[in-house]
Amino acid sequence: MNQEELTEKITENLSSSDRFDNWDTLTPKDSDYMMYSPAPVGYNTTAEQRFLMQNLLIGWNYESILDVGCGRADLYGFIEDFYTESTFIYHGIDHNPIMTNIAKQKYDVKCLTNPFESAKLPETSWVVANGLFTQRRCETEDEDLQKLFEDIELLYNKATNVVSFNLLNPINNTHHEGFFYVHPGLVLDMLIEKYQNVVLRNNYSKDVYTVTIYKI
């Protein structure tokens, strides 16, 4: 993909389109709701979902990828659509069998159905987690924070090159019950101390930021 094509793809991804708008208007009564609506996988719009995926893949170069918390495997579909000349190895895992079954129907990809913490995960070049850490999972914030760093270590150990994930930003945002917000400064300090080669992107959304850890 040359620079002009890449610019066009990014512009399209940042803009509204009839294709995405149609998906966004689906309701639970529509037969395609579970297959295409952004709501069942936790997003307000399809454009929002695609924009977050785009930011997670900055620097990706057709390498093997493990999609943790893959849902319907929409990351696979995004890569095929955005990187039109791509040939890549994709692995997905999600704890919800409904979602992994839809992934098979939608993209003909077979994803693991297991909690990622206890599954035997394949080693890949990139490990990506889109929206995996948005929900509260423990009784206290300290326990949530400890679990976050335990899970990051687990993902780090399965990547040969890069781990990329996003988190909710607590700064100047409305906090919603049941969601996990982590200060980007705290995350950056702790991850740099442990992994050194860390990039945090807080320049594309007021709600979400992306963390990328490089192993090489």
What is the pLDDT tens value at each position of the chain, 216 positions in all?
A: 554 555 555 555 555 556 678 899 999 999 999 999 999 999 999 989 999 999 999 999 999 999 999 999 999 999 998 887 668 999 999 999 999 999 999 999 999 999 999 999 999 999 999 999 999 999 999 999 999 999 999 999 999 999 999 999 999 888 899 999 999 999 999 999 999 999 999 998 889 999 999 997
| Predicted structure pTM score | 0.90
Tens digits of per-residue pLDDT, 154-171? 999 999 999 999 999 999
pLDDT digits (tens, 9 = 90+) for 108-155: 999 999 999 999 999 999 999 999 999 999 999 999 999 999 999 999
Q: Name the phi and psi angles at 67, rounded to 5.
A: -105, 100
What b/e string do you get for 83-93 counting C-beta neighbours within 10 Å, with b at 16 or more? Answer: beeeebebbbb
CA–CA gap between residue 138 and residue 162 (Å, rounded): 27
Nearest to 182 by CA among 118, 132, 133: 133
Which residue has tokens 């991850």?
A: 191
CA nearest to 123, candidates 77, 148, 169, 89: 89
